[in-house]
């Protein structure tokens, strides 16, 4: 699962979102995360920052609600485990 945070300059909410994303990543080391400046982001449908995308789908704008994101990640990681079981010989 990939989390992409779109940020811009002089954005206090972007700084808060970066801190939250780093904390989420520490709690979920299997996640891939990236922080992209809006000027370098090719999808022009995103015009508000911060914007959080999960697997290239918009999850939220503004401050990241850590509890909501954690619940989403937990639910979807359980679904991925059910859909793609790991077999150990």
| Residue 15 Cα distances to 32, 75, 81, angstroms | 19, 27, 32
What is the tens place of the pLDDT at every residue in 39-78?
A: 998 777 888 999 999 999 999 999 999 999 999 998 887 6
By the 10 Å C-beta count (0-12 exposed, 13-18 middle, 19+ buried), 89 is classed as exposed
Determine contact, residues 2/20, Cβ cutoff 8 Å.
no
The model scores a pTM over 0.85: no
Compute how many other C-beta atoms are within 10 angstroms of the C-beta atom of residue 53: 19
pLDDT band at 24 (very low <50, low <70, confident <90, very high): very high
pLDDT at position 80:
56
Selected from 3.40.30.10, 3.60.15.10, 2.60.120.590, 2.60.40.1180, the CATH number assigned to the domain covering 2-83 reads 3.40.30.10
């Amino acid at each position: 699962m990939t989390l992409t945070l779109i940020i811009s300059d002089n954005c206090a909410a972007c700084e808060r979102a970066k801190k939250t994303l780093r904390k989420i990543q520490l709690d979920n080391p299997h996640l891939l995360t990236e922080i992209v400046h809006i000027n370098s982001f090719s999808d022009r449908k995103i015009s508000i920052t911060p914007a959080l995308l999960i697997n290239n789908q918009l999850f939220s704008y503004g401050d990241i609600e850590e509890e909501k994101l954690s619940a989403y990640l937990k639910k979807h990681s359980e679904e991925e485990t059910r859909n793609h079981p790991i077999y150990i010989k």
